Amino acid sequence: MKTKLVLAVALSVFTMACSKHQLWFTVKQPSAKTTLLSAPAGFKVVAYLPKYTSTLADHINAFDFTRVTHINIAFFNPDVNGNFPASQGTGLDTIVSKAHANGVKVLISLGGGSNQSQYANLLTSANRGAFITKVVNLVSQYQVDGIDVDLEGDNIDSNYEPFITGLSAQLKPAGKLLTAATAWWTRARVTDSCLAAFDFINVMAYDKAGDEHSPYSYATQHLNYWKNDRGYPASKIVIGVPFYGYYPLGSGQGSMTFAQLVTQYPGSENKDTVKRTDGNVVNYNGITTIQNKTALAAESAGGIMFWQVLQDASGANSLLKAITDKLDINNGWTNPYVTWKYNLGSTASATFSDSTAVKQSVSVKGAPGFLPAPYYGSSRVFLPASCGGYFQLQPGATPKVKLAASSTNTPAKISWYNVDEARAVATVSYTLTLDAANTNGQLIMPFGYSTTTSTVFNNTNQLTGTNTPGVFGAIRLDFYGGSYATLSYRTNTYTYTVINNNVFNKVGTYKIEIYCNNSSGSAAYAKGGGSYTLPAQTYNVWVNDVMMQSAASIVNFPATGELSTGSVINSFALNASGNTGTSSPVTSPNSLQATIYDISMIYRLKN
């Protein structure tokens, strides 16, 4: 499954080098639980299980069989005469017995990422028939449910199609499965006749050339090719994900299992890259990305596969657990959804200080500025000249960004904008800590659409009472007298109407979630055991898991009309300004301070 490594640490290479895998996962739904993103009928979770010891029985308790639907045993390969050494099947009966007891199908997988030169002769017309018979005999010998063909590279030649169709002709009458692992670089060699013979294919959407290895966009690239360019049924496409990462090592690549990553680098489970102690960066898929690909598969494909199950971490950090948790999630959009998190991790604190000149810093993937580079979209901090404000990175177990407001009418502004993979049905989510007991001023928080060119999300605008293209909605906190800030929402006349004035204590921590529906129809979501229907062109505001409601009993706040229906929501900002200080009540200039963290933009995959 996995492609060849040029250079790697011996153990890591061994555990990853054959890494094309299908994993079949049986989804068990909790008995008294309503699920939103439950697996569609026939959804497959395919695990590749290699034999790295003398017996497969050593791996009988290595993972939870109830979380998979299929297990591919990797790998069985013949000698030059087409015979399969008996040692390859040692302990397989133990795996098959437990799998079948849990309703899991087992397939024997042929090939692997390394070249198996013996197939060139065995698949020729002179030898093909006899070899197919030997392959089929494996199925009855080990009482498995089918064959997975993981021939790659030069092993996919002109003899591949007749081998596949001939193998299918013998397996299908017996009700046995025939599947394949497919790589991007040999996709054109897999003919339509081959596709018709497979029950499903496991697309290896990993080992991408370059430094990314397996981004979400690579999964969509594979999916779109097989569905749109080749016309293959979505239900027969299984999206492959890696349980390992790559890093530069000399002229080649080193590898680390996900288990090694989370053990050696705490916190790496929630990231897609980590810097090793030797300075090299490992690219992999953390829990969030694995769950996003699971959502993509649930919405648009037939299952998810991974190479390989023995590379997984244990307990709460298990990627297999992350897959099944996502399939059984009971909060959020009722259609599959993806979550883009802004990782604010930093190795040291830093301050973006006030100056006599205007200051700004933009961060994009591959080019961090003051803020860490977001994996999606762009981020920006901005300070007007001589405003007294600042931004401060606060690293730690939960990295944060603190801002002190501008003392001018031009705001200090932090934004995350032009987030790609965006949709019109979205949630903007973050945690906000306030430290503004004795202050005046405003925090304005708009959300909507932007490009990389100047918009309210990446310019100096405070979002005043004029039509501002791109704004879907905005909420505002006003800090004046008393212990509480007043919460308001922006209307279609570009003014603000009070929601309440007793929720945001000027000193406190608040989880803010804004469910937005900019589509032309209603959208449903669940939260805290309740179900909610959000009409088109409206949004709900939740603070610490309580839905906000205005005095007029409005909960579905209307969009401002500044963003056309159907446009994606890919941006939000915090604008902090106006606290020059007052004498009655006494407030100090620049005393409005806020800290933001746990930032996410969440998109329902079906608009």
Taking CA atoms, 73 is separated from 77, 90, 102, 107, in Å, by: 11, 11, 17, 6
Domain boundary among 340, 364, 383: 340
Q: What percent of the chain has pLDDT over 70?
A: 92
The pLDDT tens digits of the residues spanning 175-186 come to 999 999 999 999
In this prediction, residue 232 carries a pLDDT of: 98
7 assigned to some structural domain: no
Residues 6+ apart with CB under 8 A from 504: 434, 477, 484, 485, 486, 487, 510, 543
State the average pLDDT over residues 329-343. 94
Q: Which residue has the higher pLDDT, 503 or 438?
A: 503
CA atoms of 494 and 475, how far apart (whole Å):
11
**Residue appearing with tokens 């997975």:** 148
Phi, psi dihedral angles at 332 (to 5 degrees): 105, -165
Taking CA atoms, 316 is separated from 23, 287, 313, in Å, by: 20, 10, 8
Q: 245 near 280, Cβ under 8 Å?
A: no
256 assigned to some structural domain: no
In this prediction, residue 95 carries a pLDDT of: 98
Say if residue 75 is in the same domain as residue 159: yes
Strand order of the β-sheet with 281-283 is: 252-257, 244-249, 281-283, 273-275
Mean pLDDT rounded to a whole number for the chain: 91
- Does position 280 have pLDDT exceeding 80, yes or no? yes
The pLDDT tens digits of the residues spanning 132-145 come to 999 999 999 999 99
The pLDDT tens digits of the residues spanning 395-417 come to 998 999 999 999 888 999 999 99
17 assigned to some structural domain: no
- Does position 346 have pLDDT exceeding 60, yes or no? yes
In this prediction, residue 453 carries a pLDDT of: 83
Please give the structure tokens belonging to residue 90: 């040692």
- Does position 31 have pLDDT exceeding 60, yes or no? no
Please give the structure tokens belonging to residue 233: 């049924």
Say if residue 305 is in the same domain as residue 355: no
In this prediction, residue 27 carries a pLDDT of: 37
Confidence band, pLDDT 50/70/90 cuts, at residue 522: very high
Q: Which residue has the higher pLDDT, 510 or 6?
A: 510
Say if residue 398 is in the same domain as residue 428: yes
- Does position 590 have pLDDT exceeding 80, yes or no? no
Say if residue 376 is in the same domain as residue 318: no
Domain boundary among 297, 314, 340: 340
Say if residue 186 is in the same domain as residue 315: yes
- Does position 587 have pLDDT exceeding 70, yes or no? no
15 assigned to some structural domain: no
- Does position 88 have pLDDT exceeding 60, yes or no? yes
The pLDDT tens digits of the residues spanning 94-128 come to 999 999 999 999 999 999 988 899 999 999 999 99
Domain boundary among 325, 340, 355: 340
Say if residue 304 is in the same domain as residue 350: no
| Range name among 330-334, 346-350, 542-546 with the lowest pLDDT average | 346-350
In this prediction, residue 474 carries a pLDDT of: 98
SS (H, E, C) 94-136: HHHHHHHHCCCEEEEEEECCCCCCCHHHHCCHHHHHHHHHHHH
Here the CATH number for the domain that contains residue 122 is: 3.20.20.80
Confidence band, pLDDT 50/70/90 cuts, at residue 40: confident
3-class DSSP state of 476: strand
For residue 23, the 8-state DSSP code is: B
Q: 28 near 137, Cβ under 8 Å?
A: no
Say if residue 495 is in the same domain as residue 561: yes
Confidence band, pLDDT 50/70/90 cuts, at residue 8: very low
Here the CATH number for the domain that contains residue 543 is: 2.60.120.200
In this prediction, residue 32 carries a pLDDT of: 35
Count of domains for the chain: 2
Instruction: Residue 484: count other Cβ atoms within 10 Å of its Cβ.
Output: 18
In this prediction, residue 440 carries a pLDDT of: 78
Confidence band, pLDDT 50/70/90 cuts, at residue 17: very low
| Range name among 389-393, 418-422, 462-466 with the lowest pLDDT average | 462-466
Q: 344 near 599, Cβ under 8 Å?
A: yes
State the average pLDDT over residues 226-251. 96
CA atoms of 111 and 149, how far apart (whole Å):
7
In this prediction, residue 210 carries a pLDDT of: 77
Say if residue 228 is in the same domain as residue 371: no
State the average pLDDT over residues 229-248. 97
Taking CA atoms, 104 is separated from 26, 264, 319, 335, 549, in Å, by: 6, 33, 19, 26, 48
147 assigned to some structural domain: yes
Say if residue 576 is in the same domain as residue 589: yes
Q: 475 near 445, Cβ under 8 Å?
A: yes
Continuous segment of H or E residues that includes residue 260: helix 258-264
CA atoms of 175 and 577, how far apart (whole Å):
69
In this prediction, residue 16 carries a pLDDT of: 41
**How much is the pTM?**
0.92
CA atoms of 72 and 546, how far apart (whole Å):
46
Confidence band, pLDDT 50/70/90 cuts, at residue 583: low
Confidence band, pLDDT 50/70/90 cuts, at residue 586: low
12 assigned to some structural domain: no
Instruction: Residue 382: count other Cβ atoms within 10 Å of its Cβ.
Output: 25
Structural domain boundaries, residue 213 = 44-242+286-340
State the average pLDDT over residues 343-351. 87
Continuous segment of H or E residues that includes residue 425: strand 425-435
- Does position 315 have pLDDT exceeding 90, yes or no? yes
In this prediction, residue 58 carries a pLDDT of: 97
In this prediction, residue 462 carries a pLDDT of: 87
3-class DSSP state of 82: coil
In this prediction, residue 454 carries a pLDDT of: 79
Say if residue 102 is in the same domain as residue 225: yes
Say if residue 198 is in the same domain as residue 317: yes
37 assigned to some structural domain: no
Is residue 264 reached through a cis peptide bond, with omega within 30 degrees of 0 on the bond before it? no
Q: 469 near 489, Cβ under 8 Å?
A: no
In this prediction, residue 6 carries a pLDDT of: 36
The pLDDT tens digits of the residues spanning 55-70 come to 999 999 999 999 999 9
In this prediction, residue 585 carries a pLDDT of: 60
34 assigned to some structural domain: no
Q: 201 near 195, Cβ under 8 Å?
A: yes
Say if residue 508 is in the same domain as residue 565: yes
